[in-house]
Amino acid sequence: MERRVVVICAVVGVLGLLSVILGFVAEATKIKVSQVMFKGSNCVRPQSPATALGLVAVLAIILAQIIVSVATGCICCCCKRGSHPNSSNWIKAQICFVFSWITVVIAAIVLLLASSYNIYNSTARCYVTKPGVFAAGAILCLASVVLALASYILSLQKNNNNLFQGGIAMAQPQFAGGTSIYQGATPIGQPQYQWGNPAVPNQGGMPMGHTKFPQ
């Protein structure tokens, strides 16, 4: 079980780190305004690796999210109930999972839009990706993979409060007014005296209120 958890966390972490690196590399290699050329009334954008880098980053972060979804038993925003569905850790895991999907969707949209403005073509209108768009997508990828890993780890943890459920009560039950049901009872193991029984030794003196009859 522990080996499976380590493998899943490692794979998801590598995919998330890959998407972040590709996002920042795409930011550095995107088409700049100074690189755009004009031929007549058309705007010509040169070739740039930023488009391919952005697409691979999107695929990597989506694949990481799918792996976490399968590992946690969640589909989109619906998760199966674990052994402790009402525990605080399980609720936190669901919240992290939902926000991880939200950040993945936003990151994918940002990276796809930024990549589309770096495709080589000749059009009448010039659109160039603004500075920081690919970097914003990379940061969103980082946030999504952190939330995804947090949801996976939290879904495996049990609530500490469950450790005390089902235990044996150590105190004596009390009646209203603070009176214990055991008050006045003879302690266990204390010998009982039977007056007039010769089989019981050390009877001591006669109890008050009894009359000794002659034998």
- The 10s digit of each residue's pLDDT in 133-152 is 999 999 999 999 999 999 88
Across the range 185-193, mean pLDDT stands at 52
User: Which residue bears the tokens 């000749």?
Assistant: 122
The whole-angstrom separation of Cα 32 and Cα 118 is 9
The whole-angstrom separation of Cα 113 and Cα 57 is 13
Question: What is the per-residue pLDDT for 118?
Answer: 79
- Say if residue 186's pLDDT is above 60: no
- Say if residue 44's pLDDT is above 60: yes
pLDDT (tens digit per residue) in 66-115: 999 888 876 655 555 554 455 787 888 888 899 999 999 999 999 999 98
| Mean residue pLDDT across the chain | 76
Residue 139's alpha-carbon distances to 63, 81, 130, in angstroms, are 17, 31, 16
In this prediction the pTM is 0.66
